[in-house]
Structure 1
Amino acid sequence: MLALLLIIPLALALPKSHESRHSHPKGWRPHTAPSPSHPLPLRIALTQSNLQLGASHLEVISNPDSPEYGHHWTPEKVAEFFAPSTESVSAVIAWLIEGGVEESRLELSKSKGWLSVHNATVQEAERLLSTTYSFYTHVSGASHLACSDYSLPPSVSPHVDFITPTIHYDFQLPPPSKRGLKREKRAKGMPPAAQLGLPDSASLPKMDLGGLFTIFDQLTHCADQITPDCLRAMYGIPPAGIRLSTSKNSLGVLEFAPQAYLPADLDIWFRKFLPWAVGSRPQFAGIDGGNLDPRSVGLQYNGESDLDLEYTMGFVWPLKPVLYQIGDSYLSGSFNNFLDAIDASYCTYLGGDDPTQDSIYPDTDNPDGYQGTNQCGAFQATKVMSVSYYTCVANVLPVTPMLTPSQYMKLGLQGVTLLFSTGDSGVASGYGVCSEDGQYSSTGTRFVPSFPATCPYVTGVGATQLPEGGSVFSKEVAVESKVYSSGGFSDIFALPSYQSKAVQSYYAKYAPPYTAAQYNNSQAVRGFPDISANGLNYVVAASGNFTLGSGTSAATPVVASIFTLINDERLAIGKGPVGFVNPALYANPWMLNDIISGNNPGCGTDGFAAVPGWDPVTGLGTPNYPAMLAYFLLH
């Protein structure tokens, strides 16, 4: 099959630099030269077609004022539209074979986006890429194989996005404040991007350690305890009950091992807040060995999943959410592992998933771990997805922000609403530390944006709270007790057109008092969050007891439930799902409750302030369900 693609003659020309690095990240230094025969897992990301056009198409079909609104694409159309051209595949294969690589060692991914060179060596890679590899060591003792630059023939370079491993320092280190807390799984080399669900992950909600002995039923206590009735009163959410389009509708909740809900916890919560749902369970979709590990018991293992499912099921019942349980009992799984499982056109494990970032299967290090291959396109994407997990851009492989956002764009084209929590540490990283020279530092002063909430094709969810001593009818403020709503500006992603007017207005009226040394103040980059919801003191049944949970990871499933309920009404009258909602929200901010008080401190500063209009603390504000429903039913 590959031979049929060899149709393009190569122009004889000297290689030109494709990527280069002029300095090493802080703490790294060259150490020794590798053996020429040292194995090197060479992976080539081929240039995708039509990415810029894809972004334009997404805005058109996501704008309710457009005649194309809601005309979502099929997975087949998406795969065909973005696949690297035959010309690109042919050019790269021909170059490799001309360079001495046997065709039998080449493997093209199903999406045609990745080309793997099996059994490559350092000597071979150095010859192909006109470079020199070295082992680099970190002050922590970590070692990494990389080069400072590499070159490609002019006839090949336009067809290649990037190649790994090369200049990218994809061996990331835990933040300094956490290195003493490594669990056995990390010591075994668990990839950093696949640490999302570990008990000390910054993604998890802040759970009160003591049990909750009194649960208030009156709405007058919502400033102290958030219950479903509090949220219904605050945002106008309808009661649980008859749904119009349950068979057509869907909501997905992502959980990463070892996080897992306890069935008994759901029933404890249902008996208090939704008694007719006792015994109800989510639809289970186990990805890459995902399971409800009975050995993982405790708030640090069950709190997140219990909270997510209790509140989504509490709002959308009798619709049963799909629980995407990702990773076996040893490897937590990553965002890429999830994307592999829901979209066969993305499935990059044949050359895209990176062993230093993503969980790779079979799990050969653990005999009782998942021994199958990464699941490729095994599950359908739900119409709405709630993701209460995040990482920081400093925590992921530099090439990841190039790839993952395009996949989120493709899901948006298919009508999927993606909601990601922004984090709970204000302008700092999830661990409360900041950045210095691109690395975590306890003395750093640069703000750390979260990911994927900064991606322009997802909806980032921040957190608010009722003011201390306030009632359910009090105007909310940015959350300032126990957690701080993460928000700010991306260091990577350009300002999307749908957000341009809001960000320009923010800078014109409320420009922050910080310099480019602290954040990207170019006024030309993506701001986050987009929307918020209450994130303080949710009543949660976890590990057999009631307690309180807080964070943007509590707000996200509430917002996801609201869009699921809106989809229910739309589907009942023959319309499609709302899909990517950001263009509609920014064009119609009146649908949301503006938050104008509070801030998100960190990095030795007060952070940003909540102000009238969009702000990098609470976004456009909190949901107004009746207004949102009326708008989305009209369009």
Structure 2
Amino acid sequence: MRPSVLSLLLLPFAAALPSHPHEARHAHPSGWRPHPKAPHPSLPVPLRIALTQSNLDIGPAELSKISHPDSPSYGHHWTPAQIADFFAPAKESVDAVIAWLAEEGVDPARVSLSPSKGWLAVANATIAETERLLRTKYSVYTHADSGAAHLACDAYTVPAHVAHHVDFITPTIHYDVQLPPVKRSGASKEIIKRGGMPPAAQLGLPDSASLPKMALGGLFTIFDQLEHCDEQITPVCLRALYGIPPAGLQFATSKNSLGVVEFAPQAYLPADLDMFFNKFLPSAVGDRPTLAGVDGGWLDPTSVGLQFNGESDLDLEYTMGFVHPLKPVLYQIGDSTLSGSFNNFLDAIDASYCTYMGGDDPTQDSIYPDTLDPNGYQGTNQCGAFAATNVMSISYSYDEIMLSPFYEQRQCNEYMKLGLQGVTLLFSTGDAGVASGFGICSTDGQYDPDGIRFVPSFPATCPYVTGVGATQIPEGGSVLSREVAVETNVFSSGGFSDVFPLPDYQKSAVQSYYNKYPPPYTAAQYNNSQQVRGFPDISANGLNFVVAASGNFTLGSGTSAATPVVASVFTLINDARLAIGKKPVGFVNPALYAAPWILNDIVSGNNPGCGTDGFEAVPGWDPVTGLGTPNFPLMSAYFLTLP
């Protein structure tokens, strides 16, 4: 199995002697090499100390209290202020670290506490001072492909009496300090590719593995009859498959909200929306989402083509088509140069996350002001600029091995906090079966065309989000046929995490799966410990969606198509709950696993990859389609009975 979050690259020794490292790195990310010359002792260092957060260990139990249908506290969502207070480091931790710094000669006047109380910043620190403080040596590491340069060390020391108060310190082993990078030219426009990431790691770029698979060429004939739903999926097909009512929101539009997240340079074209609605929902012609431009996010009218418009057009056409007249909030992330990341999005909806556990990581996140392009966004990261919507549809993903386990756990904890606030987070799982988004597998935590190890996707493996897989109507079938796991052009990504443990709400389903249908693979191929998070949780049709994109009708496929459908279903359920004075459904996984009968079980198909047939869809939960597809009448009735 792939080592866990605490054992792959980062080895904390929280209770160690002063001479032992607090964190150490055994290997550097692929492509990074140290410069032979040491950095100058007077080089400024933005020294930040992330304090140990309180109550992270009991956060999952608190989330279960408000999310499990049998809990008397179901639906009692927390306010942002309650969350900030609950997870803030103890005053004892703040005092202990400040005292240690003073003992080392750091004037307390140079030390400031962040508004979230999550970290301490030391002003005007230098290489020489930081090396003495942390008993370490810094080097400048340069990435061979991107030219990006980062300040990092191999290990650092914290006194034993302080160690349990310190989560980690930057810049140290995390590559958090970015030096001026080198620009690279892309095929169609100049794009900055951040160091340490495969090209498709930049979520919105045209070569991203997250994007839907779009058919080339336009459609000459569009079918809007149920007898053709095995060839083309339209809103009428999905309504028939899942029992979704035709009228959209009925009761509580003013109280309800749905968010769609897109990353630059992906952007919808207004003419595409009107083209789609003119065909399928004339009353919505002229409707537009409410734009929440994050870190310079805007709608670029000059980038036209399926690789720029397909994702956003698909997401908005289907969400708006189902929840009309509600206008979704479009979280448009990133400027014309930097596409942004999930962390940039989280910054925008939660100010405390900008500084939680040390802030964004320049090896993965876009950092603002954008010094790489004079036309880029010149403001600071937008911290807490926008409210979170009740439901979030996010058709983008990474591979777990693409990011460090630390980075993933850091982000997953924020998803837990959003769940406590009553936010439903839906992430697509990917389209390459058990392989990576690139269709290749891994060896020893690295991409390897000859590798045999399966590659889970993230954030779907985070236990506090809902991962969405994909299905299809069998060839020659109808909307009355039982769907199968998608097997034409794309394959529903699913499997088991190498980072996150098995959540309580999923234990029974996963144990039943292993007892009845044990996969024929070894620990060399995937984490078969039966103690880790399985994914996806739910699925929906993801094959051949009719999409108006870049001025033409075409077909789009993938879990990217399935996710906005599921998001729309939960938005409609929220509409009914809000209308009778109840709260939004919030984190839905415990409720879904407690009542799998409200979903259409998928029992046929598989998700091949890595030279195997992958996992099989079987009765009950499986790591291909999860618990199944929506059955709106049953789901709506069930959630309306909950407090």
TM-score in same-fold range (> 0.5): yes
User: Which residue in 2 is equivalent to 1:225?
Assistant: 232
Tell me, in whole angstroms, the C-alpha distance in 2 between the residues paired with 1:449 and 1:12.
Answer: 33
The structure 1 residue matched to 2:493, chosen from 478, 486, 489, is 486
Could you say what secondary structure the match of 2:161 adopts?
coil
In structure 2, do the counterparts of structure 1 residues 487 and 119 end up closer, same or farther at CA, with 3 Å as the change threshold?
farther
CA distance in 1, matches of 2:474, 2:164: 55
AA matched with 1:274: L
Q: 1:427 aligns with which of 425, 434, 439?
A: 434
CA apart distance, 1:23: 4.3
Instruction: State the AA in 1 paired with 2:50.
Output: A
Is 1:281 aligned with 2:285? no
In the alignment, the residues of structure 1 paired with residue 296 and residue 137 of structure 2 have an alpha-carbon distance, to the nearest angstrom, of 39
- 3-state SS of the aligned residue for 2:392? strand
CA deviation after TM superposition for structure 1 residue 167, in Å: 3.1
1:479–1:555 Cα change, 3 Å: same
SS of equivalent to 2:412:
helix
One-letter identity of the residue aligned with 1:19? E
Opposite residue 572 of structure 2, the aligned amino acid is: L
Which string of whole-angstrom CA distances, capped at 9 and with x for unpartnered residues, describes residues 192-212 of structure 1? 797110111111100111101
Superposed, which structure 2 residues align to 1:96-115 within 5 Å? Answer: 96-115=101-120
The letter for the 2-side match of 1:412 is: G
Equivalent position to 2:452, from 445, 458, 467 = 445
Q: Give the CA deviation at 1:330.
A: 1.0
Matched, 1:339 2:343: no
Residue 74 of structure 1, aligned match among 60, 79, 84: 79
Deviation, structure 1 residue 362: 1.1
Counterpart CA distance in 2 for 1:275 and 1:561 is 19
**CA gap 1:129/1:190 in 2 versus in 1, 3 angstroms:** closer
Structure 1 segment 309-328 matched on structure 2, within 5 A: 309-328=316-335
CA distance in 2, matches of 1:374, 1:141: 23
Give the Cα–Cα distance (whole angstroms) in 2 for the partners of residues 555 and 403 of structure 1.
Answer: 27
Say if 1:311 and 1:558, in contact at 8 Å, map to a contact too.
yes
Alignment check: 8 A CA contact 1:110 1:344 kept: no
Shift in alpha-carbon separation, 1:283–1:136, aligned structure 2, 3 A = closer
Q: What residue in structure 2 maps to residue 240 of structure 1?
A: 247
Aligned partner letter, 1:352: G
CA contact 1:170–1:397 (8 Å) conserved in 2: no
Matched, 1:296 2:300: no
301 and 471 in structure 1: CA distance in 2 versus 1, 3 angstrom threshold: same
Which stretch has the larger CA shift, 218-227 or 179-188? 179-188
Distance 1:393 1:103 in 2: 40
Q: CA–CA distance in 2 between the matches of 1:220 and 1:619?
A: 27
Alpha-carbon distance between aligned partners in 2 of 1:483 and 1:36, rounded to the nearest angstrom: 51
Q: Which residue of 1 aligns with 2:515?
A: 508
Does the residue aligned with 1:492 lie in a helix, a strand or coil? Answer: strand
Alignment pair present for 1:611 and 2:618: yes
The alignment partner of 1:523 has SS state of coil
Partners of 1:179 and 1:364 lie apart in 2 by 17
CA distance in 2, matches of 1:102, 1:267: 62
1:33–1:133: 8 Å Cα contact kept in structure 2? no
The equivalent position to 2:137 in structure 1, one of 111, 132, 154, is 132
Structure-2 separation of matches of 1:188 and 1:518: 30
Paired residue secondary structure (1:247): helix
1:460 aligns with 2:467: yes
Q: Which moved more, 1:122-131 or 1:297-306?
A: 122-131
Aligned to 2:25: 21
Judging changes above 3 Å, is the alpha-carbon distance between structure 1 residues 41 and 607 closer, same or farther for their aligned structure 2 residues? farther
* 1:35 maps onto 2:39 in alignment: yes
Q: Any idea what the Cα deviations from partners look like across 1:381-412, whole Å, max 9, x if unmatched?
A: 00000000111122224421221111111111
Q: In the alignment, residue 461 of structure 1 is paired with which amino acid?
A: V
Query: In the alignment, residue 21 of structure 1 is paired with which amino acid?
Result: R
- CA displacement 1:94-134 (0-9 Å, x = unmatched): 22233233445444332122333344333322222222334
Please say if 1:602 is aligned against 2:606: no
- Residue 523 to residue 156, structure 1, CA distance change in 2 (3 Å): same
User: How far does residue 443 in structure 1 lie from its aligned partner after superposition?
Assistant: 1.8
Corresponding residue of 2:167: 161
Aligned mates of 1:608, 1:169 — CA distance in 2: 36
Correspondence for 1:49: 54
| Range with bigger deviation, 139-148 or 469-478 | 139-148
**AA partner of residue 302 (structure 2):** R
Question: Cα 1:332–1:102, aligned 2, differ >3 Å: closer, same or farther?
Answer: farther
1:258 matched to 2:265? The reply is: yes
Identity of aligned residues (%): 75
Contact 1:43 1:352 in 2 (8 A): no
Q: In the superposition, relative to structure 1, how do residues 512 and 290 fare at CA in structure 2: closer, same or farther (>3 Å)?
A: same
* Aligned residue in 1 for 2:336: 329
Q: CA deviation at 1:476?
A: 0.7
Query: What residue in structure 2 maps to residue 565 of structure 1?
Result: 572
Deviations 1:11-48 (A, max 9, x none): 99734321223445566665525224244443322111
- Per-residue deviation, residues 128-187 of structure 1 (Å, max 9, x unmatched): 222233445666586654333222111211111122333346799xxxxx9996963235
Contact 2:433-2:491 at 8 Å conserved across structures: yes
Matched residues in 1 for 2:444 and 2:29: separation?
7
The whole-number CA distance in structure 2 between the counterparts of 1:171 and 1:535 is: 40
Match of 1:586 among 593, 606, 609: 593
Q: Any conservation in 2 of the 1:26–1:437 contact (CA below 8 Å)?
A: no
| 1:553 counterpart SS class | helix
Pair 1:160–1:242, CA change in 2 (3 A): closer
For residues 19 and 350 of structure 1, the distance between their equivalents in structure 2, rounded to whole angstroms, comes to 14
* Alpha-carbon distance in structure 2 between the residues aligned to 1:105 and 1:208: 58
CA contact (8 A) 2:492 2:559 kept: yes
* Unaligned stretches of 5+ residues in structure 1: 1-10, 173-177
Question: Is this contact kept in 1: 2:566–2:630, CA < 8 A?
Answer: yes
SS in 2 for 1:70: coil
Evaluate the alpha carbon distance shift between residue 439 and residue 196 of structure 1 in structure 2; reply closer, same or farther with a 3 A threshold: same
Please list every run of 5 or more consecutive structure 2 residues that lacks an aligned counterpart in the other structure: 1-14, 179-183
Does structure 1 residue 410 correspond to structure 2 residue 414?
A: no
SS where residue 57 of structure 2 aligns? helix
The superposition leaves residues 339-369 of structure 1 with CA deviations (integer Å, 9 ceiling, x where unpaired) of 1111122222894112222111111221121
**Are the structure 2 counterparts of residues 439 and 269 from structure 1 closer, same or farther at C-alpha, using a change threshold of 3 Å?**
same
Does residue 271 of structure 1 match 2:278? yes
Query: Which residue number corresponds to residue 203 of structure 1?
Result: 210
TM-score with structure 1 setting the length: 0.93
SS at match of 2:555: strand
Q: 2:94 matched to which residue of 1?
A: 89
Q: Secondary structure at the match of 2:330?
A: strand
Tell me the amino acid that sits aligned with residue 465 of structure 2.
V
TM-superposed CA distance for 1:446, in Å, is 1.4
The 8 Å contact of residues 116 and 356 in structure 2, kept in 1 or not, is answered as no
Distance 1:12 1:303 in 2: 52
Deviates most, 84-93 or 109-118:
109-118
Q: How far apart are the structure 2 equivalents of 1:516 and 1:25?
A: 24
Residue identity in the other structure for 1:576:
K
Question: What is the alpha-carbon root mean square deviation over aligned residues?
Answer: 2.5
Paired letter, 1:220: E
In structure 2, the partner of 1:497 is: 504
Partner of 2:12: none
1:121 to 126, 134, 145: 126
AA of the residue aligned to 1:128:
L
